[in-house]
A and B are shown apart, each in its own frame.
Chain A
Amino acid sequence: MQKRKKKFYAKRGAWLFILPILTLHVATILVPATVGLYFSLTDWSGFGSASFIGLENYRALLTDAEFLQSLRNNLKWLAFFAIVPFSIALTTAFLLSQVKRGGYAYRIAYFVPYVLPSVVIGSLWKFILNPDSGITAILSNFGVPGLDKALLGQPSTALLTIAFVDNWHYWGFLATILLVALQSVSPDLYEAARIDGANLRQQFKYVTIPGIRPTLVFMLMMTCIWSFLVFEYVWVMSQGGPAGSTEVMATYLYKAAFREFSAGLAAAAGLTMTLSAAMVIGAFLVLRKRGWEI
């Protein structure tokens, strides 16, 4: 009897410890997600009863030029964030790893924007970019070309401007993560590389990058996932305009749910966002399975 009890606890004991958090997870994540999946197959307005309409919402999304435009904007956003913040953060982290004194001061300086709320940053930059009294107006008065027009007021520049602001807050966080990863690379490897005659660029390519690859790949994957979920900066700075040029899936979802009372369609858009993020994770997993060192 005692032996059987021991065997039971040995086999299922871990589950008992996991059970509370698992229950919480099921109640707060799995159930709402399943409900969301169900509502994406209905014509629910957000209130009252819902009628099952099959895949109609998904068909509507895939034939809606507005939604396809928002998907394209998310992909542009992804491309920007997979390149720009990583280039800046990696360079900064590498240079900072060489700094012997005052490193903390730099780290604090570029990490500060990350702790500010996105709504505050968005509003602040709207003020800074004001075409009549902001920094662009000052630069334009000094003769800098192309700044006489409002950057957030033109379809050709609005998305890039918002991405710039989001990046302003994001790259410091990324640099900090990468710096921590860099510090875990053994100094012996750099010394060996130097003895072999490697210059700074070669050390970066052959020691730094392989040494921080797991962190780099993880952050790249997370950045790609976040790129499909972006909302606050776009909403605060442009509400998806002008002329839909900054519309992303999340703003499309918000308008569908709260302005058009199409909660079913919004649920379908939300699941499409999740699916897009899942595809990114899938792509990373496939590459890893094929032998890529990521």
Chain B
Amino acid sequence: MRIKNNVLRVGAGLAMAGMLALQIMFAPGASSATGKVTVWLEENDLAKCFAETVSAANKNSALTFEMTPKPQLTEAMRTALAAGGAPDVIFTPGPAFTSEFAKAGLLEPLDGYAKKLGWTKTISPWNLELGKVNNKLYSLGSEQETMLLWYNKTVLDKLGIKVPKTTKEFSAALDKVAAAGITPFAGGNTEWKPVNEWFLSAMWNAVAGPSNVYKALTGKMKWDSAPFVEATNTLNGWMMKGYMSGGLDRYYTKTFEEFQSDHATGKAAFSMEGSWRFSSIGAQFDRTGQKWGWAPFPTKDGSELYSIGVGSSWGVNAASKNKAGAAAFLNALFTPATQAQLVTKCGFNPAPVKIEKKMLAGQEKRHADAIVRLGKAAAKGNFGYLTWAFWPPKTQNFLIEEIEKVWAGSVTTKQYLQGMDKIFAKELADKAVPPIPARG
């Protein structure tokens, strides 16, 4: 009897231990991966902080993350992938790159890992949608971005201008600023020509409206339709009046440092820039002693709208010998807790994951507020679409390059949009357009 009882006790103990082991193995976020995972990071001031934060999130694991900063990461990754020498985890500057890599069979599908590791519970649905190619998940978007209206509060207070909510109010505010002898916008594209698309992204969503953008991106509306002509012409009007950095010649020759300094010193009142500016604006305005603020980009009807996109994407190398380890790296990186740490410790913008407000405790109030408001809007489906996340590559390059011809007067807005429509139609037919998440 005693023997029987002991056998039962041992059996029950083993069963419980087994169940516990199974629970640990298959618990969301848990990973049985071991060994080393190689990762390349963009070589910049934030690389060290990034590596430390992600390593800390992995401290109880049998995995080791070997994170190496690389200069010119995009070019290095592209070459290494083509040559078969890329790391286990693949970083790209966004969905357009991921799509090309996936089509060439260079990335591992992540659907199995997403299910096993419970990513649907922690990662925003639109992020999971954006990483798909031919209905398979290949990447996770990082650094959630939106276009915002940044203003020099000191200048606006002095001129008695309220933060505009509608395009009409915005236009009136710009005229008032210009009349006071202050440059309405700070901007410059000498270091990065795609700065042009920031403004187009903002204006097409704000003036033409996100529903029309969705229709155009899904082929149900032409890009040369009246709403897009109106939106582009509104921007052109400001550019022609010399509202951007005092004239187009200045816009084409200003560096980031120069135009952001113009904004912080009060030479310019507004700046149309992405949410990435949170990482630098505080220090810039602290140096000048002036005050700053941000607002959702003014829309035609005054509603609060955030266009969404990602600044980079992460995937798993199809040729990796440690694919499970690479997926575990993504799992560690994309937990809301790690992303919150990347915000509060390093100053990153978080990936589109479900971050709660309390996780951002201690973060600069305006930045935390933007993250929460953007997250809420995206969750409700009230969002627009940023060109660098949702436009296919040839159309994207066209819109960046050719808009300067419109500003130079050598091409009309209609011709520009017709040209874009032609290229987009071909890319849509070729299935080069990323998945477009529907609005709520």
Give the interface of A toward B (CB within 8 A): 45-49, 66, 126, 129-132, 149-150, 152-155, 238-245, 255, 258-262
Shortest distance between the CB of B10 and any CB in chain A (Å): 56
A48 to B104, CA, bound (A): 4
Partner of B253, one of A45, A150, A261: A150
Q: A150-B249, A154-B249 are known contacts. Are A66 and B401 too (CB-CB below 8 A)? A: yes
A129 to B190, CA, bound (A): 13
A126 to B190, CA, bound (A): 10
CB-based closest 4 A-B pairs = A48-B104, A153-B249, A47-B104, A153-B252
A126 to B258, CA, bound (A): 13
Q: List 18 A-B contacts (CB under 8 A).
A: A45-B100, A45-B104, A47-B100, A47-B103, A66-B401, A130-B253, A132-B258, A149-B247, A150-B252, A153-B247, A153-B249, A153-B253, A238-B252, A240-B401, A241-B193, A242-B248, A242-B249, A260-B393
Those of B188-211 within 8 Å (CB) of chain A: 189-190, 193
A150 to B103, CA, bound (A): 43
**Interface flag for B113 (CB, 8 Å):** no
Please name all residues of chain B whose beta carbon is closer than 8 Å to the beta carbon of A259 when the two chains form the complex. 393, 396-397
Please name all residues of chain A whose beta carbon is closer than 8 Å to the beta carbon of B250 when the two chains form the complex. 131-132, 150, 153
Q: A45-B100, A46-B100, A262-B394 are known contacts. Are A243 and B408 too (CB-CB below 8 A)? A: yes
Please name all residues of chain B whose beta carbon is closer than 8 Å to the beta carbon of A126 when the two chains form the complex. 190, 253
**Interface flag for B280 (CB, 8 Å):** no
Instruction: List 11 other contacts, CB 8 Å, given A48-B106, A241-B193.
Output: A45-B104, A48-B103, A130-B253, A150-B249, A153-B251, A155-B408, A238-B190, A242-B404, A244-B404, A244-B405, A261-B100
Do A242 and B393 have beta carbons less than 8 Å apart? no
Partner of A149, one of B193, B249, B396, B410: B249
Please name all residues of chain A whose beta carbon is closer than 8 Å to the beta carbon of B253 when the two chains form the complex. 126, 129-131, 150, 152-153
A147 to B362, CA, bound (A): 49
A236 to B46, CA, bound (A): 25
Do A243 and B404 have beta carbons less than 8 Å apart? yes
A260 to B97, CA, bound (A): 10
- At the interface, is chain A mostly helix, strand, loop or mixed? loop
Quick one: closest B residue to A133, CB to CB? B258
Q: A239-B193, A243-B408, A244-B401 are known contacts. Are A47 and B82 too (CB-CB below 8 A)? A: yes
Interface mask (B380-398 → A, CB under 8 Å = 1, otherwise 0) = 0000000000000110110
Please name all residues of chain A whose beta carbon is closer than 8 Å to the beta carbon of B189 when the two chains form the complex. 241
A260 to B404, CA, bound (A): 18
Shortest distance between the CB of A56 and any CB in chain B (Å): 13
- At the interface, is chain B mostly helix, strand, loop or mixed? helix
Please name all residues of chain A whose beta carbon is closer than 8 Å to the beta carbon of B104 when the two chains form the complex. 45, 47-49
Please name all residues of chain B whose beta carbon is closer than 8 Å to the beta carbon of A239 when the two chains form the complex. 193
A194 to B106, CA, bound (A): 74
Q: A47-B81, A47-B104, A47-B106 are known contacts. Are A243 and B249 too (CB-CB below 8 A)? A: no
Do A243 and B410 have beta carbons less than 8 Å apart? yes
Those of B240-268 within 8 Å (CB) of chain A: 247-253, 258
Please name all residues of chain A whose beta carbon is closer than 8 Å to the beta carbon of B81 when the two chains form the complex. 47
Please name all residues of chain B whose beta carbon is closer than 8 Å to the beta carbon of A48 when the two chains form the complex. 103-106
Q: How many A-B residue pairs have CB under 8 A?
A: 85
**Interface flag for B78 (CB, 8 Å):** yes
The winner among A45, A131, A149, A261 for most chain B CB atoms within 10 A is A261
A206 to B200, CA, bound (A): 62
Please name all residues of chain A whose beta carbon is closer than 8 Å to the beta carbon of B297 when the two chains form the complex. none
Those of B389-440 within 8 Å (CB) of chain A: 393-394, 396-397, 401, 404-405, 407-408, 410
A155 to B252, CA, bound (A): 10
Shortest distance between the CB of A252 and any CB in chain B (Å): 10
Quick one: closest B residue to A265, CB to CB? B394
**Interface flag for B101 (CB, 8 Å):** yes
Shortest distance between the CB of A28 and any CB in chain B (Å): 16
Please name all residues of chain B whose beta carbon is closer than 8 Å to the beta carbon of A149 when the two chains form the complex. 247, 249
Do A242 and B252 have beta carbons less than 8 Å apart? yes
A255 to B394, CA, bound (A): 10
Please name all residues of chain A whose beta carbon is closer than 8 Å to the beta carbon of B393 when the two chains form the complex. 259-261
A262 to B103, CA, bound (A): 14
Shortest distance between the CB of A89 and any CB in chain B (Å): 30
Partner of B248, one of A47, A129, A153: A153
Quick one: closest A residue to B396, CB to CB? A259
Shortest distance between the CB of A203 and any CB in chain B (Å): 46
Please name all residues of chain B whose beta carbon is closer than 8 Å to the beta carbon of A261 when the two chains form the complex. 96, 100, 393-394
Quick one: closest A residue to B401, CB to CB? A244
A45 to B99, CA, bound (A): 11
The winner among A155, A239, A242 for most chain B CB atoms within 10 A is A242
A255 to B253, CA, bound (A): 20
Q: A154-B249, A239-B193, A259-B397 are known contacts. Are A47 and B101 too (CB-CB below 8 A)? A: yes
Please name all residues of chain A whose beta carbon is closer than 8 Å to the beta carbon of B78 when the two chains form the complex. 46, 258
Shortest distance between the CB of A43 and any CB in chain B (Å): 9
Please name all residues of chain B whose beta carbon is closer than 8 Å to the beta carbon of A262 when the two chains form the complex. 394
Quick one: closest A residue to B403, CB to CB? A243
Those of B282-310 within 8 Å (CB) of chain A: none
Please name all residues of chain B whose beta carbon is closer than 8 Å to the beta carbon of A131 when the two chains form the complex. 249-250, 253
Shortest distance between the CB of A150 and any CB in chain B (Å): 4
Please name all residues of chain A whose beta carbon is closer than 8 Å to the beta carbon of B396 when the two chains form the complex. 259
Please name all residues of chain B whose beta carbon is closer than 8 Å to the beta carbon of A244 when the two chains form the complex. 401, 404-405
Do B193 and A243 have beta carbons less than 8 Å apart? no
Please name all residues of chain B whose beta carbon is closer than 8 Å to the beta carbon of A243 when the two chains form the complex. 404-405, 407-408, 410
Do B252 and A46 have beta carbons less than 8 Å apart? no
Shortest distance between the CB of A236 and any CB in chain B (Å): 10
A132 to B404, CA, bound (A): 22
A155 to B405, CA, bound (A): 10
Shortest distance between the CB of A97 and any CB in chain B (Å): 41
Quick one: closest B residue to A154, CB to CB? B249
A242 to B252, CA, bound (A): 7
Please name all residues of chain A whose beta carbon is closer than 8 Å to the beta carbon of B404 when the two chains form the complex. 241-244
Quick one: closest A residue to B251, CB to CB? A153
Quick one: closest B residue to A153, CB to CB? B249
Please name all residues of chain B whose beta carbon is closer than 8 Å to the beta carbon of A46 when the two chains form the complex. 78, 82, 100
Do B82 and A152 have beta carbons less than 8 Å apart? no
A238 to B396, CA, bound (A): 19
Shortest distance between the CB of B259 and any CB in chain A (Å): 11
A215 to B410, CA, bound (A): 43
Please name all residues of chain B whose beta carbon is closer than 8 Å to the beta carbon of A130 when the two chains form the complex. 253
Please name all residues of chain A whose beta carbon is closer than 8 Å to the beta carbon of B252 when the two chains form the complex. 150, 152-153, 238, 241-242
